[in-house]
Every structure is written in structure tokens, then in C-alpha cells.
């Protein structure tokens, strides 16, 4: 059955692949603009990805949504995604503001998990954006997810992800507490580094 689904999904994947190229280019433009105007490179690195067909199907099942191309397009907004890792916490909000005022990318949803971390301790800034794709048949808007976080937040999230997958069930409470406590240390470190950045800028 998954093979039949895969054929149908593959027919729309060209739209997502084109949108990802445009998204990557826009992020590079943001980085270049910072470098040129402010002599400051806010982005440490960028990682992009495309969900596999298997992941798409699992997400439909998780949300109890029937399979159809329309249901995929209208309900799964992270088939393509970009993770922007910044040096400082203040860089995150500057990049968010640039994306919001972009004439190319249209923000349709945002979640600030930095000011309001998840219960697990997870911190990041999430945006869902419409990416315009110019096809021979006309312009379509493709949704993409952008995650923006600091190096320290990315370090915590990567290790938390690895630790979670070592357990087939929920994490034990003592490990959950350790992760939350460590996320607070990460946040304190980010705040200290941001403060040092401000001190340096005064000189």
C-alpha cells in the first residue's frame, strides 16, 4: 500500500524541492545582507531537509488524517524545513524580523519556544512560511518550517533527541528533570554570551 502512496506523493515532491531551493537562497541572502551592512555574520550554519514518504505517512497516522494529496498539502507544513543556527540569542530575533518583512517569504504561523520553552526544556523559534514557487503553470505557495536557535540550544536539542530514542516508552521522571535543569543552564549561558556581546560592542 505504501508503494501506491509513494507514487502519488512523488508527483508533488517537485513543488517541495523547488520551494526548498528558494528557501535556501533567501536564507543565504539574509546572511549576506548582515555581513555586508553590519560586518557581522549571525548564522553559524544552516541545515535543510525533506521529509521521507514514510515520515509523511506516520504524521498523517499520528493526527488521524486520511491519506490524500490535499490532506498532505493542507495539514503537514514541515515536509521541507530549514534549521538556522545562530551565534547569539539576539541574532534569532533579528533574523525573525527580517523574515517577517521579506517580500518573498510569507509568515503564516510562529511559535516562540525561547520565551516560552516546551515542558521538556526545548527552546527554539519556529516559523511556518509560504514559499512562492514559479512553475510553468503559474505560481503556487508551498509551506515550509524554519527553526531558528543558538548553538547552545541546538546542542541541547540534538542530545535530547538522541536520548529520547534510547527509550521505547516515555523518559523516566529523573531523566526528564535532568534535561529540564540542563536546558536552564543552556539558557543562562546564552544570556551570558549575549551580555558579553553587548559589552564587546561598546568597545
* Residues annotated catalytic, as ranges: 145
Residues in the chain: 203
Q: Give the Cα separation of 1 and 22 in Å (integer).
A: 33
- Cell 551580555 -> residue: 195
CA distances (Å), 35 to each of 23, 38, 175, in order? 19, 6, 41
Closest CA to 199 of 66, 191, 184: 191
Closest CA to 178 of 156, 197, 194: 156
Q: Give the Cα separation of 136 and 118 in Å (integer).
A: 42
Angle between helices 173-202 and 89-100 (to 10 degrees): 80
H or E stretch covering 46: strand 43-50
Amino acid at each position: 500500500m505504501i508503494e501506491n502512496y509513494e507514487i502519488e506523493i512523488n508527483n508533488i515532491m517537485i513543488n517541495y524541492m523547488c520551494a526548498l531551493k528558494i528557501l535556501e537562497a533567501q536564507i543565504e541572502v539574509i546572511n549576506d545582507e548582515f555581513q555586508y551592512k553590519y560586518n557581522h555574520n549571525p548564522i553559524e550554519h544552516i541545515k535543510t531537509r525533506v521529509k521521507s514518504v514514510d515520515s509523511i505517512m506516520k504524521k498523517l497516522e499520528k493526527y488521524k488524517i486520511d491519506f490524500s494529496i490535499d490532506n498532505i498539502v493542507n495539514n503537514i507544513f514541515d515536509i521541507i524545513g530549514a534549521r538556522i543556527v545562530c551565534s547569539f540569542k539576539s541574532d534569532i530575533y533579528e533574523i525573525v524580523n527580517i523574515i517577517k518583512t521579506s517580500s518573498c517569504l510569507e509568515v503564516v504561523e510562529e511559535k516562540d519556544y525561547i520565551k516560552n520553552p516546551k515542558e521538556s526544556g526545548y527552546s527554539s523559534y519556529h516559523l511556518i512560511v509560504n514559499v512562492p514557487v514559479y512553475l510553468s503553470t503559474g505560481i503556487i505557495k508551498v509551506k515550509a518550517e524554519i527553526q531558528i536557535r543558538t548553538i547552545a540550544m541546538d546542542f541541547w536539542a540534538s542530545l535530547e533527541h538522541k536520548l529520547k530514542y534510547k527509550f521505547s516508552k516515555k523518559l523516566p521522571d529523573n531523566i526528564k528533570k535532568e534535561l529540564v535543569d540542563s536546558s536552564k543552564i543552556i539558557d543562562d549561558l546564552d544570556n551570558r554570551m549575549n551580555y558579553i556581546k553587548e559589552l564587546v560592542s561598546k568597545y
